[in-house]
């Protein structure tokens, strides 16, 4: 549905995005993650046509976006920091959006206002960041756009509202919408995304499904044994060795597992469990790698 081909953006000498390439399939949730200043917003602003790439191409439904601007009507975009017309109420802003999009389902509007617990009668200038975000999120979920783009959508929301956001993303996906979700909240992306791309310093450093990305990190092992296995701590493939009530916890490099298993044979184990790595572990490794 959307494809970026070697998209690059320079602001003067600052390289905000370099050779960004990825494609979104219709009906998927695509997570775009990276630390502050990595280039997520710049990339998104190029997708919505607010910035012109220095190099590279962006295609939407097979057409080049430089030539055909009509594709923008098929995108609903919620920026990280939402600005609204201060003198309109939240509901007036939502009504305005519905009118411009010729969307008439007021029951759905009321459902979303109720679900996001928005007081739509207050003027937007009195709203907190979270309330402004709610107005934009409700408008996006109400729109008939086929691609929904959320840039750090839950930074102003409390955990209950975050959950509402997650539920609505899943609903939108079930309705066949495509979702680009930019975030540095890894658990959010992990829960929702079918595939992810990790961006850092303007470059995509890894992309794929979570399952595909798990190979690049360490697995955690929890060992229950009456034996003293602290000698393992000194092996170079063992990391973060700790002792807890439920056993010894340690992380093992995935490519060194056969060696690890050989060592394990030296002990009498009561139980051995493993935990798949979280996106956070993958991400932290990239963080650490740069320092």
Ligand X SMILES: Nc1ncnc2c1ncn2[C@@H]1O[C@H](COP(=O)(O)OP(=O)(O)OP(=O)(O)O)[C@@H](O)[C@H]1O
Return residues touching ligand X (CB under 6 A). 11, 14, 16, 34, 36-42, 152
Instruction: State the nearest-atom distance from the C-beta of 159 to ligand X, in Å.
Output: 20
Instruction: State the nearest-atom distance from the C-beta of 16 to ligand X, in Å.
Output: 3
Beta bridge partners of 29: 179
Closest CA to 145 of 177, 168, 170: 177
Cα–Cα separations (whole angstroms), residue 95 to 88, 104, 141, 165, 178: 10, 9, 13, 20, 24
**What burial letters (b/e) apply to 100-139, b meaning 16+ CB within 10 Å?**
eeebeeeeebeebbebbebebeeebeebeebbbbbbbbbb
Q: Closer CB to ligand X, residue 97 or residue 149? A: 149
Q: Closer CB to ligand X, residue 172 or residue 204? A: 204
Angle at 227 between CA 225 and CA 230, to 5 degrees: 100
Q: What is the DSSP letter of 218?
A: P
Q: Closer CB to ligand X, residue 38 or residue 65? A: 38
Q: Closer CB to ligand X, residue 131 or residue 182? A: 182
Instruction: State the nearest-atom distance from the C-beta of 44 to ligand X, in Å.
Output: 8
Answer yes or no: are the C-beta atoms of 147 and 177 closer than 8 Å. Answer: yes
Closest CA to 148 of 91, 202, 100, 79: 79
Instruction: State the nearest-atom distance from the C-beta of 98 to ligand X, in Å.
Output: 29
Answer yes or no: are the C-beta atoms of 57 and 80 closer than 8 Å. Answer: no
Closest CA to 214 of 174, 274, 269, 169: 274
Question: φ and ψ at 273, to 5 degrees?
Answer: -125, 155
Q: How far apart are alpha carbons 100 and 147 in whole angstroms?
A: 17
Q: Closer CB to ligand X, residue 21 or residue 95? A: 21
Q: Closer CB to ligand X, residue 41 or residue 133? A: 41
Instruction: State the nearest-atom distance from the C-beta of 114 to ligand X, in Å.
Output: 31
Q: Closer CB to ligand X, residue 31 or residue 39? A: 39
Instruction: State the nearest-atom distance from the C-beta of 30 to ligand X, in Å.
Output: 15
Instruction: State the nearest-atom distance from the C-beta of 42 to ligand X, in Å.
Output: 3
């Amino acid at each position: 549905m959307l494809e970026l081909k070697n998209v690059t953006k320079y602001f003067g000498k600052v390289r905000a995005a370099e050779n960004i390439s990825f494609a979104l399939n219709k009906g998927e949730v695509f997570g775009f993650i990276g630390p502050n200043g990595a280039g997520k917003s710049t990339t998104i602003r190029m997708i919505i046509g607010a910035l012109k790439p220095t190099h590279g191409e962006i295609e939407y439904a097979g057409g080049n976006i430089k030539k055909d601007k009509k594709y923008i009507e098929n995108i609903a975009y919620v920026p990280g920091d939402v600005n609204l017309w201060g003198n309109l109420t939240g509901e007036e802003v939502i009504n305005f959006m519905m009118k411009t999009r010729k969307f008439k389902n007021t029951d759905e509007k009321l459902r979303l206002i109720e679900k996001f617990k928005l007081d739509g009668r207050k003027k937007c200038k009195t709203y907190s960041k979270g309330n402004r975000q709610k107005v934009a999120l409700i408008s996006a979920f109400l729109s008939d756009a086929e691609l929904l783009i959320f840039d750090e959508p839950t930074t102003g929301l409390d955990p209950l509202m975050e959950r509402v956001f997650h539920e609505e993303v899943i609903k939108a996906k079930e309705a066949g919408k495509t979702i680009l979700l930019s975030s540095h909240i890894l658990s959010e992306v992990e829960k929702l995304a079918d595939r992810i791309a990790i961006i850092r310093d303007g470059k995509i450093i890894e992309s794929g499904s979570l399952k595909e990305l798990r190979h690049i990190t360490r697995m955690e092992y929890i060992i229950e044994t009456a034996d003293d296995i602290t000698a393992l701590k000194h092996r170079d493939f063992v990391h973060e060795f700790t002792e807890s009530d439920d056993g010894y916890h340690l992380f093992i490099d995935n490519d060194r597992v056969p060696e690890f298993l050989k060592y394990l044979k030296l002990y009498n184990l009561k139980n051995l469990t493993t935990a798949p790595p979280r996106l956070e572990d993958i991400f932290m490794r990239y963080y650490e790698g740069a320092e």
